[in-house]
Structure 1
């Protein structure tokens, strides 16, 4: 057992190094504060759950809250072996493991989830599910939620729910309050088809980079802008270099909770009911926590000297108008009737 702990600590250290000191690390084991206060060795069922994020983000920490509740409410029958910080590999690798059951669950970033089933990309289309309120409306409307939940069934994957990491905008090394100023910036965007199509439609320069490559690229000037949320930018110390943030709020960053369907169906009915109920309740609570965390992280960043900006009216209108090009591309992937329904139901 002692040797296993040593191996785990070495693995976590290597993850820290590969991320360039990217998140909030402790002096020793970065996950020490989230260790269970129970011995899971007697569990009849183990749910191996992966996530790339750091549990300092409330939407990631939900994995630990799910773990602890399920242990209590199943009387120690079900143990959620939650592995954040990419301990089980990058998202593309984990998605493949999830399909075949080598990993039973995954809290996938919403930008990566579109690679599993195109319909999952609807939550990242610009200015569609773009506020916390619309996100909850989307989740609570069965006409919208049902097709999203079932989008990956052909891949042996079920969508259970989602948590979040905040509203997307731009962290930059120079102030950006207009599209013209934005055109002088090279933005890092995620390895995701929706993002690529959006930036092409907006006519902005971008580089597709894996997340672990971002710190060095930002520090060396390979990129001078970052498409992400204020929660992630502040917690991961991106604001130490990029001292400006443009609050676009064009999409919500999500962790989509995916489960291997065969594993889910293998659970006894009573355990499965408890499992699904706990994931749903904790995901809802995490979304509420994310709203509060975003306000707190913005306030903390402002106090540290980060300048927050908004696009002027003309530039905001331009971004929204050009986003229609993205809808025309993606309606073929998600289904024109579904996209029309989502936009109509969430119009505010």
Structure 2
């Protein structure tokens, strides 16, 4: 396979690298022989993903006896999710967190994890991600210099809006709904009848305020920690997808690590994922309670109309991308 940077401007990547490489490049051992890996992400410091990453950094330090260090830069300090992934591809940043929905731009097979109503329940999702299929998908981006270390729970995504609750797919008609830069997410909102509008997560609060979009879709902790609920007072829990997050490392950085360093990092990532799942469950409960206190109207629409609305997506996949559809069939067969 010809190794290329998919979807993104080569000129832009070079520009970003010229600006940030001197600051970021830490793949060689620093003073005292400490291996430093820099990790950037776009979430706030109160988000359970950030807390889990801090735990991972702590574990790396402990396991290595101080020979390895992960330095974390939250809140888009080093760029948007898309820009951070670009920096990983050229080896200028060590690690980041990315939604698997965004990863489909680099490794097409990963898009199956973004399909609406793919998993029957949480146990089914966990069996898939921890099993052979999930582990294979972690490595799907290696041809594009991106290696998955583990999955983090990103919960279930539902719609939140400014002016009215979404009780059925029909009520999305004519609404501009923010989506991630994911063809699967775009096609899903179209199937529901809405108008999908990709917007950077960091720019979404302003886009909602200014009416650039009428709403968005995300999980409870992200809606709460981003304070989007200050603008959107309706949260309709239709749980259309359970798109996981993925902690990824640049293969350019990974390949410079010694075998023992790789073991320390992988073990820390796996243990942080277990911790993150626990944090996530508590965060969902707390986020919903706090948003209700803040006056958000939380509703639970009937799910069957939403499921029926997206059935054509599976038929299209079956007819046009049989290789991907075969993965869907394997996922559905897992008990």
TM-score, length-scaled by structure 2: 0.83
Q: Is the 8 A contact 2:169 2:305 kept in 1?
A: yes
5+ residue gaps, structure 2: 1-29
Q: Are 2:179 and 1:185 aligned?
A: no
Q: Is the 8 A contact 2:102 2:182 kept in 1?
A: yes
The CA deviation at 1:82 is: 1.4
5+ residue gaps, structure 1: 1-39
Residue 57 (structure 2) aligned to one of 67, 81, 91: 67
What is the root-mean-square deviation in Å for CA atoms of aligned residues?
2.2
Q: Is the 8 A contact 1:117 1:152 kept in 2?
A: yes
Residue 94 (structure 1) aligned to one of 84, 97, 119: 84
Distance 1:235 1:130 in 2: 27
Q: Is the 8 A contact 1:125 1:327 kept in 2?
A: no
Distance 1:150 1:165 in 2: 19
Distance 2:181 2:120 in 1: 20
Distance 2:125 2:278 in 1: 11
- Equivalent residue for 2:146? 157
Distance 1:313 1:214 in 2: 26
SS of 2:167's equivalent in the other structure is coil
Residue 117 (structure 1) aligned to one of 96, 107, 111: 107
Residue 127 (structure 1) aligned to one of 109, 117, 120: 117
Q: Are 2:209 and 1:219 aligned?
A: yes
Q: Is the 8 A contact 1:201 1:325 kept in 2?
A: no
Report the number of matched residues.
305
Stretches of 4+ moved more than 6 A in 1? none
- Equivalent residue for 1:23? none
The CA deviation at 1:78 is: 0.2
Worse-matched range after superposition: 100-109 or 258-267: 258-267
- Alpha-carbon spacing, 1:89–1:314, altered in 2? closer, same or farther (3 Å): closer
Alignment of 1:257-276 (within 5 A): 257-276=247-266
- Alpha-carbon spacing, 1:134–1:70, altered in 2? closer, same or farther (3 Å): same
SS of 2:240's equivalent in the other structure is coil
TM-score, length-scaled by structure 1: 0.80
Deviations 1:129-171 (A, max 9, x none): 47433332122212x1232022112123211112133210011
Deviations 1:47-95 (A, max 9, x none): 1112111231112321111111111221110010112212221222222
The CA deviation at 1:184 is: 4.5
